[in-house]
A and B are shown apart, each in its own frame.
Chain A
């Protein structure tokens, strides 16, 4: 990489520093005291290019007696790091990078790292889930003790759900991210990563999300991938298990306290179902929303619908006719915007009409999980079979008994 050092005249004085990329005819200088300053009225007197020295990190040596963990990066906050010279925050990802940033990891396992994508998680797409599922599948076949997927937090629970349906895994597949970027001394990335590594070696056989359990750097929760949701825009403990307890707590010293029933290591055979139907819509109902929205998507060839209805699972009664028409050749699953609780359309008339019209209750599934499940069902089964599988618990997405899980801290 090359940098540019300039000397400018502005405000009747001379300034020297590194020129940073900027627009609108202004110049932003990084002065030698470290401060960035913007000038609009200036004249460049001298400029000089220089080579920014490459950072050479020591190679990571495999340690005998430690188990192997595959780390696959998809980008996001957790992988970002800062260049103090130019002040740019970039995203890089090699085992050397990770281990030099979090040396504790080298004491836990041997890491093999791979940068699969370098995207912000808001740009995640179903086709990326397919590639990701295939890569994880291969890694498991290669014999890794566990797989850690680093991921942006915005859509991490969608991706975790996707992998949970696409991949029946005998080993832990752990999604992890950071709410504070890794270039900050206060980042939650290190503890999340360390706890993820411990989880990847543990007696677990399913897809999980591991993130801070509290605002303190105390311990992490291991959430079931199909029962977790980002419930806060910025807090470290944004991820919460909904309608099922967290599977366990994990501390950075490796201690794990299991809480809820889980798939154990080796319990399931490795299996990959790598197709998804992308034309599935998640529609949030609100007072006044007309059923035209359903017709619109249906006309565009969508055959899968998840409705995020009100309360026990409702939309306005004036939707009934349209629902009936659309449901003839489509899958319509009802979930609730309450998030917490189970859908039950047998209590009120509206619900009964909707059931009659062909809506399928999504039980206690999160709307996002139901969306992924419908994508996966339509991608792998005929419509009739898919309809039957909606209410069947396949990978832990449905819990037939409701408890007081929200009280888990």
Chain B
């Protein structure tokens, strides 16, 4: 695909959780909890507020009031601020400082005075009905492959509560995540290829990690992507958690938009049109074999004139235009739709399809969509599908979509209007003074990794890992006195292996790595012993002496070898020097990790040689 010709424009928005001591507007820890640990729960409703023009959809309001009840799980690590029962504290300075560091790394300008705003969000993920957010910096750039990608804004904001359960008419949220500081970084739409999108996201991720102050692990960083092509439309794709599929997301979205434009051209050629009427077709399916239709209270249909063959056309791998209609039906609480491009199937007979066509007066070239379920829902969904189908003649609708794991996307909701924001009057503005501006910018992981490759001869992969702030401090502390590759083994390679073997390596802290490395440095254990030490420390916290006592050979090595050689003298007589290998195995079984393997091999060889001489 020629992305330049298509006029591809991509902008990325990254949300990264910060690893601060406290949340952004209260003094709770930024700690995630198990839902079972909740010690209290309460429920609320949220109401739509009138817009500045006084307009407001009453139906929507009733829906908010009647059908969405939000239940919140509270913990001993959350407080009345998360519960919207106490005013927020002043903004967390630690988070601001990290934000300033990141802004400087992205060559951005800082505002003189930071104002916290309320951004209206009524899906329940914020107990207040708004998200607190503040613009800290603007107008920066980062360089990727020698190209400058503009960075439009950097905001500091609160993380939303996590959805833990969704029942009919009720959503359950956990308050532990609510209020964790986030930085939101939005690039300009300067990105013009899928690969570039992925590279920019990766580079941003690397810059964020370089601060050593960001949360790590699943869900701590999320990407939203804005994609458009010429003649297409701006589509916002939300919640990409895996940066490795970012290129695929962009690629598939371009494919989708190109295909929708093809469908548009074909429809125009055919003089297609969408009939507004919603037909009741329940009678057609009076004795149907389709289980879904038999159960349904109402079965209705709409007619898309000239759409035949196009509803079933694939627009993304495994997704057809009909899938887009089905997505809409799902947002109205229905299971999905059937359309004539895929029928007869699913228990619907050829005869029924014919009668259906007759009932809505559809010709060969027309497509018919049917939906079944509760009457009001079916009507609402089909009306919205008619609206969507009409847009097929215009092109690509602007909308918000959700990223699927395979890189495709599904319809979520229309693109939000200009986000409604008003000041958070409970939080005073903060003057960004010289002292805050002067905060030091950390060395980038990339730069540090290059230094490690140069100075310590590490491979690029290993250097990148050691350069991560999680390791770099200890690495540099020991890399001078212990072989760098051994330090890397202790810090990363051994723990990764142990994790696979089921050891709880998350219990290992900096002090454990320090202890292990200093024992190697001081010659108290052989480097082969590191694995054993880490195994012990991942189980229990014991001191150096206790570790040495556990590692010290139960028998002395020389004595063990002498005994062994005597015992196996027949074998040695038979095999000569080839007896070394099996015997080495037996000695290692006893002394692995306790004595340097080289020393053992030397002594054993010596003993075998002596035994052979004696024979």
Contact = CB atoms under 8 A, between A and B. Distances in A.
A39 B419 contact: no
A5 interface: no
The interface centre, meaning the residue of B48, B80, B122 with most chain A CB atoms within 10 A of its CB, is B80
B130 A234 contact: no
Contacts of B65: 104, 190
B84 A185 contact: no
A120 B57 CA distance: 31
B129 A185 contact: yes
A185 B48 contact: yes
Contacts of A403: none
Contacts, number: 134
The interface centre, meaning the residue of A12, A37, A83 with most chain B CB atoms within 10 A of its CB, is A37
A183 B422 contact: yes
A87 interface: yes
B113 A26 contact: yes
Contacts of A85: 52
Nearest to B420: A84
B20 interface: no
Contact of A37 (B84, B113, B130): B113
**CB-CB nearest 6 A-B residue pairs:** A185-B129, A38-B113, A34-B421, A55-B54, A36-B115, A35-B135
Given A26-B113, A185-B46, A185-B47, A89 B425 contact: yes
Contacts of B431: 38
Interface in B100-149: 109, 111-115, 117, 119-120, 122, 127-130, 133-135, 138-139
Contact of B117 (A35, A186, A214, A217): A35
Nearest to A20: B423
A38 B147 CA distance: 32
B109 A11 contact: yes
16 contacts: A28-B429, A31-B135, A35-B117, A36-B117, A37-B114, A38-B115, A82-B422, A83-B422, A100-B50, A100-B54, A184-B129, A185-B49, A185-B130, A216-B42, A217-B44, A218-B43
B420 A41 contact: no
B353 to A, nearest CB: 45
Given A40-B112, A235-B80, A55 B53 contact: yes
B45 interface: yes
Given A100-B56, A216-B43, A235-B80, A34 B419 contact: yes
Interface of B: 42-54, 56, 58, 61-62, 65, 80, 83-87, 109, 111-115, 117, 119-120, 122, 127-130, 133-135, 138-139, 153, 155, 418-423, 425, 429, 431
A84 B51 contact: yes
Contacts of B135: 31, 33, 35-37
Interface in A362-386: none
Interface string A69-105: 0000000000001111101010000000000110110
A56 interface: yes
A185 B421 contact: no
B129 A186 contact: yes
Interface string A185-229: 111001100000000000000000000001111100000000000
Contacts of A35: 115, 117, 133-135, 155, 421
B112 A39 contact: yes
Contacts of A41: 112
Contacts of A13: 109, 138-139
A3 to B, nearest CB: 11
Given A55-B53, A186-B46, A217-B45, A33 B115 contact: no
Nearest to B120: A185
A55 to B, nearest CB: 4
Contact of B43 (A57, A104, A180, A217): A217
A183 B49 contact: yes
A118 B602 CA distance: 95
Contacts of B134: 35
Contact of B112 (A26, A36, A191): A26
A168 interface: no
Contacts of B87: 234
Contacts of B58: 103
A387 interface: no
